[in-house]
Amino acid sequence: MKDSSQKPTNISLSSNQLSQDERLNSLLTGMVGQVKSYANQLMSQIKRLSNIGRALSGETDLNTLLEMIVDEVRKFTYADAGTLYILEDNVLKFMIVQNDTLNIRMGGASGEDISFDPVELKETNVSAFVAIKGVPVNIPDVYDTDLFDFTGPKKFDLANGYRSKSMLVVPMRNHENDVIGVLQLMNAVNKDNNEVIPFSPDYEHLTESLASQAAIAITNVKLINDMERLFESFVQVMATAIDEKSPVTGGHIRRVANLTMVMAETLNESAEGTFKNTKFTREELHQLRVAAWMHDIGKVTTPVEVIEKAKKLQTIFDRIHLVDLRMQYLIQRAQLEGFKKVTVALQNGASPEEVQMIKEDNAAEENKFKEIRSFIQMCNEPTEFLDEAIVQRLQEIARMTYVDIDGNTKNYLDDDELENLSIRRGSITERERKIMQNHADVTLRMLNKIPFTKKLKDIPNFAGAHHECINGQGYPLGLKGDEIPFEGKLMAVTDIAEALTATDRPYKKAMPLDNVYRILRAMVQDGNLDHDLVEFFINEKIYERYLEIHEKDQERTTLENGEEVRPEDIRFDSYRPSY
């Protein structure tokens, strides 16, 4: 039989043991909860760090990227202020300066300009020390250390009523482990009570990791920007090559590119009307700019004598000199024949009256050749329109013959000379016009051979379409209406406007804007140009804006005769449809 007196003791021990187990379980549960909370926080930070890394890698604008880096790392560490320096030319240059308490936001895509002087690489400066040594520095209170000279921050505090305290400075290392900049954070804030606290070691390591990601992103963006600049430089070198071949065409390329960008940027500013919803992104503007610089690259294959044909008989040289020598030969031969006739008449005892009649007949013969000579010289000049009567007169002269010193019968003008002198408008023949027009096809074929990146893939279509017409009668592809890309329609307007206003063409003079606008509108009526783009060009005074921005030093032009006049006073006598 069991002793009942022992039961309470057994019960008491069991209850005591249960109480200890509960406290232990409670303690363990609390520890697990803390560990779990810390693990969740750490995982959240790692996840956020990963998301920040992806965001940084997707940004291609350097100013936006730098601003994003400081914004994100400040959020990550609860820092009140942050500064980002880039190491260039052996100094640290301020790129981003932010301070929430003082409402300071400088640098980047949205901040004010930074006027601070660069930081010299002296180890007494904490940021310079980090850049030199490549190690992070974590200071709980900058007023309670003599490791570095904090005279600058203290002066800043005094001037702005601020209190700099905790500071974390980390190097920004790229993929080659080179320090390319420094990230400086100031005053970590306890999110529970808003007190300034030191930066924790965890934040130090994570910030250094983020800084390295940021450095790689910066390096990538710089590399992309450098490649873009390299490509644009190559494009401009090609334009320069054409410029060296023909200064006329080279100037045209530059002016069309600038005029095109002024029109595109004005379209972006438009808040009402037909183009209020037409906006170009930064990448689209870049693509359009490159296309504008390359729109005439095919002219590298166009013979210079065609591009710069100022006179109708001009090839490598102006053949009017050959025709003129021919006329001079006929004049001198007529004079010689006259002298012979007078001499024979005098030897035969002719009267003074008879001799005078011979001289007058001879003078009339000479004047006939002189008149033909002057007429041909006049026809060699490019005109707006050559009258049918003049063409018939040229044909009559071409049928006239003479005997050269070798006894061969020759026409006053050969077939090629007659064809060129009979050009009804401008200075180039239909064959030469096709050679000029071929540059658009060459441009398209050349550009299609370039492996453009995704953001530049439309350059061949834009550049190759600047001679296409709305009515489908353009070249090289005969596109019409909406088949022509908008950028091609835009460049068609700026290309023609530049050609009509250019003051350096050897075959024409510049045309005043009123006449340019008249021709542009006439080309709309003929189905060549887009109506809305032409009206926008005229109504928004695109050309005047272009002059103000790009041609301030070119507002006055000196003609060949030395007379100084304004462009609006210069008149124009011919232009080329192929521009």
Condensed to tens digits (0 to 9), the pLDDT of residues 147-157 reads 999 998 899 99
Would the pLDDT of 41 be above 90?
no
Would the pLDDT of 18 be above 70?
no
Q: Which phi-psi region, left, alpha or beta, contains residue 182 (left: φ > 0; alpha: ψ -120 to 50)?
A: beta
Which amino acid is present at 91? Answer: V
Closest CA to 79 of 201, 194, 179, 182: 194
Give CA–CA dist 252/146, Å, rounded: 64
Would the pLDDT of 568 be above 60?
no
In the chain, what percentage of residues exceed pLDDT 70? 83
Q: DSSP code of 95? A: E
Give CA–CA dist 432/423, Å, rounded: 11
Would the pLDDT of 11 be above 60?
no
Average pLDDT over residues 369-392: 89
| Residue-level pLDDT at 48 | 67
- At residue 579 the predicted structure's pLDDT band, cuts being 50, 70 and 90, is very low
252 φ, ψ (degrees, to nearest 5): -60, -45
Question: Are 466 and 475 a contacting pair, CB within 8 Å?
Answer: no
Q: What is the CB neighbour count within 10 angstroms for residue 90?
A: 9
Question: Are 517 and 291 a contacting pair, CB within 8 Å?
Answer: no
Q: Which residue pairs, CB below 8 angstroms and at least 24 apart, start in 390-395?
A: 391/422, 391/424, 394/418, 394/421, 394/422, 395/422
Average pLDDT over residues 473-479: 93
- Exposed e or buried b per residue across 16-55, where buried means at least 16 C-beta atoms within 10 angstroms of its C-beta: eeeeeeeeeeeeeeeeeeeeeeeeeeeeeeeeebeebbee
- At residue 16 the predicted structure's pLDDT band, cuts being 50, 70 and 90, is low
Question: Are 489 and 530 a contacting pair, CB within 8 Å?
Answer: yes
Question: Helix (H, G, I), strand (E, B), or coil: what is residue 556?
Answer: coil
Give CA–CA dist 530/520, Å, rounded: 10
Give CA–CA dist 73/130, Å, rounded: 18
- At residue 30 the predicted structure's pLDDT band, cuts being 50, 70 and 90, is low
User: Does 245 or 189 have the greater pLDDT score?
Assistant: 189
Would the pLDDT of 5 be above 50?
no
In Å, how far from its chain's centre is CA 356? 74
| Residue-level pLDDT at 553 | 61
Looking from the CA of 559 toward its CB, the CA atoms found within 13 Å total 14
Which amino acid is present at 525? Answer: Q
pLDDT digits (tens, 9 = 90+) for 191-234: 889 899 999 887 888 888 888 878 888 888 888 788 888 888 88
Question: Helix (H, G, I), strand (E, B), or coil: what is residue 422?
Answer: coil
Q: Which phi-psi region, left, alpha or beta, contains residue 521 (left: φ > 0; alpha: ψ -120 to 50)?
A: alpha
H or E element, residue 241: helix 201-245
Q: Which phi-psi region, left, alpha or beta, contains residue 428 (left: φ > 0; alpha: ψ -120 to 50)?
A: beta
Which segment of 260-264, 359-363, 443-447, 531-535 scores lowest on mean pLDDT? 359-363
H or E element, residue 333: helix 320-347
Winning range, highest mean pLDDT, from 14-23, 134-143, 326-335: 134-143
The CATH superfamily label for domain 55-224 reads GAF domain (3.30.450.40)
Would the pLDDT of 359 be above 50?
yes
Torsion of the alpha carbons at 255, 259, 262 and 264, rounded to the nearest 10: -130
| Residue-level pLDDT at 563 | 34
Q: DSSP code of 381? A: S
User: Does 26 or 61 have the greater pLDDT score?
Assistant: 61
Looking from the CA of 151 toward its CB, the CA atoms found within 13 Å total 3
Task: Give me the architecture of the 246-304+436-569 domain, per CATH.
Answer: Orthogonal Bundle (1.10)
pLDDT digits (tens, 9 = 90+) for 50-70: 666 666 666 677 888 888 888
User: Does 504 or 273 have the greater pLDDT score?
Assistant: 273
Q: DSSP code of 135? A: -
Give CA–CA dist 290/284, Å, rounded: 10
Which amino acid is present at 371? Answer: E
- At residue 571 the predicted structure's pLDDT band, cuts being 50, 70 and 90, is very low
Average pLDDT over residues 461-470: 94
Q: What is the distance between the terminal CA atoms of the chain, rounded to a whole angstrom? A: 125
pTM: 0.66
| Residue-level pLDDT at 37 | 65
**CB burial class (10 A; 0-12, 13-18, 19+) of residue 307?**
buried
Average pLDDT over residues 416-428: 89
* Bridge partner residues of 402 (DSSP): 410
